[in-house]
Chain A
Amino acid sequence: MPTRRTFLTQAAAFTAAPLLSPAASASGITDVNIHLHRWPHHRLPHDTPTALADHLHAHGVAQAWAGSYDALLQQDLTAVNARLAADCAKTDPNLFLAIGTLNPNHPRWQDDLKRCQQTHGMKALRIYPGFHRYTLADPAFRQLLEAATSARIPLQIVAQLEDERTQHPALQTPSVDLKLLPALLKDIPEARIMVLNASSTMIHTALQPAPNLWFDIAKLEGCGVLETLLQTWPIEQLAFGSNAPFFYWLAAKLKLQESALTPAQIHTLTHSVFL
């Protein structure tokens, strides 16, 4: 039970607390979860490549792995990926790392994989099973995972983008059921997968640590969520992701302060070695 003395000590601490403590003031951050272009049905702050680049630089981001919101609904993913690659290169090639999108329900999606890797030089690809209406149990997903693994290109699976309770009625997309993932990764041990926007519940109910599985922190919630998670999950397989510009970028950064993390843990978290 805190005493008057401990309360006064705490009071002095919070009145002096800066927005970010020194331990959480990481720099040269790699943000693994960024999107360029327009959210489908409303404008977001910083939703032009230049504005987003300025915003990320101001927060100390050195590299941002960028997908495109255009990939959610547009069916010509060849064009979407080409535009994303061009915009990343034109805006800030040192900051933005273009992450193309595949949809295994599209004819000849294998051509998109080749173009992303060989034409655009992309180092990872992103998939949206919720928006593109398939599950991880579908044979098409397994084919895609095997093809990406053969091509030695890692995959980012977007588990969700928006709270189902606030989604547009005409665009309701289910969260991805991740329960099959551990078995798939066991079957295909060379695959490398990073799940984006997984919630704490998804992780606790569906996932277990595996050497080829990562996820990001953007959608994790709860007091001290990172220090709690690190009791069961290796820090090397967590990555700093913000889900910006849909989320306030600072939401991810302040999680580093809310949990008791060492400078070494913060460095590991903010400098992902997934790629």
Chain B
Amino acid sequence: MRIWDLHCHLTGLPGLTPEERATHLLLYADRVGIERLCVYMGLRFLQNPTPEQLIQQNNEVLRALAAFPDRLFGFVYLSAEHIETSLAELERCVAHGPMVGVKLWVAGRCNNPSLDPLIVRAAELKALVFQHTWIKTGGNYPGESTPDDLVALAQRFPSVPLICGHTGGNWRLGLRAIQHQPNLYADLAGSDPTAGITETAVAALGPDRVLYGSDAPGRSFATQLAKVHGADIPESIKQKIFHTNLHRLLTPILTAKGIKT
């Protein structure tokens, strides 16, 4: 079974440098059979980074990528609060750098059309766009997107694949929200390993729109892998979720950049 992990970070690991953090991340990944990892954001979590911090965060990921170019994929961290800096970071890290995707977190909700220039440019570069989403019982952060917010964005860009980070956390509601928007993909990462998430996602979206991710190191690889390994679905579908679907989504940009996998 080939496994690519859509959703990893460098926070919360031993080590003071990006290279040391990535070394530890890969140590654990190797134990559970993960071949490649998508990494985004820097050595600490910044929910609403300044332009300077955004650049710093991406620099840290670039250092990790340089150390492990055959194991890590990088997604550039962008912010709805700083569109000009974000566009410049797209050019620096994706158009002229090694990164292959975009990470949007909680600086601003993604249904706001002010974000559109980022999606337009990311699509031109074939960069895969990942948007964090949650539906929290106690209420979201002010700038935190819901799956419904992402549906609004996806409807404006129906030919651009977009990833629904965490499947909304509350995945029963998240899957309902994104089910009928065919350019939206479910990221299984970063929630408790509640039984049924993967079976329900496959039933709602089909086997080609579900992606394995962990949200390591905050989450164990173990608990997140179990969502797929432990699901009552055919092995062929597990392989799609673990690898084939993400590989397909990344193939355009990997091909454009000449990255062989």
- Chains A and B belong together in one complex: yes
Chain A residues within 8 Å of B, Cβ to Cβ: 1-2, 7, 10-11, 13-15, 17-19, 21, 42, 44-46, 162-169, 172, 219-225, 244-251, 253-255, 257-258, 260
- Residues in A with CB closer than 8 Å to B68 are 2, 7
Closest to A46 in B: B195
For the side of the interface on B, what is the size category? 35 or more
- B217 at the binding interface (Cβ < 8 Å): yes
The SS class assigned to the A binding surface is: loop
User: Which residues of A sit under 8 angstroms from B251, Cβ to Cβ?
Assistant: none
In the assembled complex, the Cα of A166 lies from the Cα of B174 at a distance in Å of 11
Chain A residues closer than 8 Å to B226, beta-carbon distance: 247-251, 253-254
Mark interface residues in B113-151 (1 if CB within 8 Å of A CB, else 0). 000000000000000000000101110000000000000
Give the distance in Å from the alpha carbon of A164 to the alpha carbon of B227 in the complex. Answer: 20
Segment at the interface with A among B32-40, B84-92, B177-185: B32-40
Distance A222 CA – B225 CA, assembled complex (angstroms): 13
Nearest CB in chain A to that of B170: its residue? A166
Given A223-B220, A225-B220, residue A165 in contact with residue B35 (CB < 8 A): no
User: How far does the alpha carbon of A273 sit from the alpha carbon of B67 in the complex, in Å?
Assistant: 45
Interface centre among A162, A244, A255 (most CB of B within 10 A): A255
User: In this complex, which of A7, A223, A254 has the most chain B Cβ atoms within 10 angstroms of its Cβ?
Assistant: A223
Contact across chains for A162 and B195 when beta carbons are under 8 A apart: no
Query: What are the residues of chain B within 8 A of A222 when measuring CB–CB?
Result: 12, 217-220
| Distance of A18 Cα from B33 Cα, bound (Å) | 7
A163/B191 in contact, CB under 8 A: yes
- 11 A/B residue pairs, CB under 8 Å, sorted by A: A1-B23, A46-B195, A163-B169, A163-B191, A165-B137, A165-B169, A166-B191, A166-B194, A223-B28, A248-B229, A257-B32
Q: In the assembled complex, which residues on chain A have CB atoms less than 8 Å from the CB atom of B172?
A: 42
**Docked CA distance A255–B224 (Å):** 10
Closest CB in chain B relative to A183 CB, distance in Å: 30
| Given A221-B219, A250-B226, A251-B222: A165 and B134 interface contact (C-beta under 8 Å) | yes
